[in-house]
Amino acid sequence: MNRVFAIAANTFRESVRDKILFSLIILGFLLIAASKIFVPISIGQAEKIIKDFGVGLIEIFGLFIVVLIGTRILYHEIERKTIYSIITKPVKDWEFVTGKFFGLYYLVITVQVILFAIFFLFCRLYLGSFDWFLLNTLYFYLFEFLLLDAVAVFLSCFTTPITAGILTLLVFFIGHLTHYLRELVLVLKLENLKGLMSFLYFILPNFSVFNVKASVVYHHQISINTYLLAISYSILYSMILLIISSVLYAKREYQ
């Protein structure tokens, strides 16, 4: 495990130096602050609008980090020829893939915490108070991006960064919609689409498991089962994807 953590730490340091990351954090700060422009049209719902806008932006920027940085972490090793120095060392395939995965996840956690801190500071300055219930969103985001990181690493094992990025976006958005699309197909009794929707629902990651933004913003109670489902689903699915990723990585031509 020491080799895994060493690779993860090195991946984290390299990603932190990426100009894309710095640009995303600055842009995230500006957009969170810009949520104030919605206040004049919110008709007495300023607090709800700002909170909904803020937590939504934090999720979107987490997605951008995974797509723009996460889908390139394996490809960079090949592009810079550093992969050859790595494979000559006693590093197993699963250790390398897992290390890259955790390095990306450390990065996402760090950025999420920074953006939430900025958002809480903005709420304190503009709304006059902290809403600690919003931390529930951070909990679910951490497990949502744990799974999305695994998806990005999995796709980057056999595709180019651009293709992996596009597919990661598609998996993310479809994963948020499959639950609703499946229900819609059943209600409308579209027999021709029932099989396809069931396949997508059970095979693709179901990101709707982590969608509690409305409950958090409007202070609706979240059941303990929802918390447990998020952590168990994310970890189990991520482990499966990492195992498959390690197998795919071992079969690449540079091996």
Nearest alpha-carbon partner for 7 in 138, 101, 112: 101
Q: How confident is the model at residue 120, as a pLDDT?
A: 84
The per-residue pLDDT of the chain, averaged, comes to 80
pLDDT bin (cut points 50, 70, 90) of residue 250 is confident
* Tokens at 36, concatenated: 């104030």
Closest CA to 165 of 37, 63, 49, 17: 63
Query: What are the CA-CA distances from residue 27 to residues 31, 32, 37, 118, 212 (Å)?
Result: 6, 9, 16, 12, 24
Kindly indicate the confidence band of residue 237, based on its pLDDT and cuts at 50, 70 and 90: very high
Q: What is the pLDDT of residues 147-205, one digit of tens each?
A: 999 999 999 888 888 899 999 999 999 888 877 777 776 666 676 777 777 777 778 89
63-104 per-position pLDDT tens digit: 988 888 888 877 766 666 555 555 556 677 788 889 889 998
pLDDT at 255: 47
Name the band, by pLDDT with cuts 50, 70 and 90, for residue 114: confident
Candidates 82, 24, 93; CA nearest to 57 is 24
The dihedral region occupied by 128, where left means phi > 0, alpha psi between -120 and 50, and beta the remainder, is left
Average pLDDT over residues 36-56: 67
pLDDT of residue 28: 67
Residues 222-231: what's their mean pLDDT? Answer: 95
Helix axes 93-127 and 224-250, enclosed angle (nearest 10) = 140
What b-and-e string marks burial along 71-94, b requiring 16 or more CB atoms within 10 Å of the CB?
bbbbbbbeeeeebeeeeeeeeebb
Question: In the structure, what pLDDT confidence band is assigned to residue 4 with cuts at 50, 70 and 90?
Answer: confident
pLDDT score recorded for residue 155: 92
**Residue 54: its pLDDT value, please?**
81
User: What pLDDT score does 181 carry?
Assistant: 72
pLDDT computed for residue 167 by the predictor = 93
Residues 7-39 pLDDT 10s: 788 777 777 776 666 666 676 666 666 666 655
Q: Residue range 48-58: average pLDDT? A: 82
Count CB neighbours of 227 within 10 A: 15
Q: How far, rounded to the nearest angstrom, does the alpha carbon of residue 63 sit from its chain's CA centroid?
A: 5
